[in-house]
Structure 1
Amino acid sequence: MASVMEYHVVRYIVRKALRLQVDEAMVSFKDSIKAARFMRENPNFLVKVKKGMLYCGICGRGPFTRRGLYLHLMRVHADDIARAIESWS
């Protein structure tokens, strides 16, 4: 991952997508607006729900708990998510 700021934006988006507790001070207001628009326009990019179970929207692995999917996305797909956000905006 290129920068600490990108890491915080990716972390913010993943936590929002999984409805985990988010520290709003983690990212700037501008980045939080961008993250909200990204998630609204790409609702199944990170998380897919099949029969009530959570699966990775990028690679299809699962099922996961919310915490497990958070760890998977941050460890395996953080760079992919950062590139997707960068190319989208």
Structure 2
Amino acid sequence: MPASLTEQVNPYMRCMQGTNTKKPRCINLRGEIGQNVMCSMYENRPSPCREFSQSWEFGEPNEACDRARAAYGLAALTPPNAEEFASKIATGCHFPG
């Protein structure tokens, strides 16, 4: 990772430029947020990016993802089958467990 793409957080840590702000936008993010974005260095992204998952990617919400989306006026992601759950609840169906 070129140091020119990062900024110092403390004597031991660096972060990607643009991510350590109230309304973060990584220097490597291309496109328009809420429309179509991509990481310009996805294959070589640092470990914090590799460890960050979007809400429901692995079946669980991610509050950090929800906060990041909210900072740009985007709604939190919902589970892929949220509409199915809502429909079953509305019709009185019960879930096992």
Structure richer in strand, relative to its length? 2
Query: Which structure would you say has the larger Rg?
Result: 2
TM over 0.5: no
Tell which has more relative contact order, 1 or 2 (C-alpha 8 A, sep 6+).
1
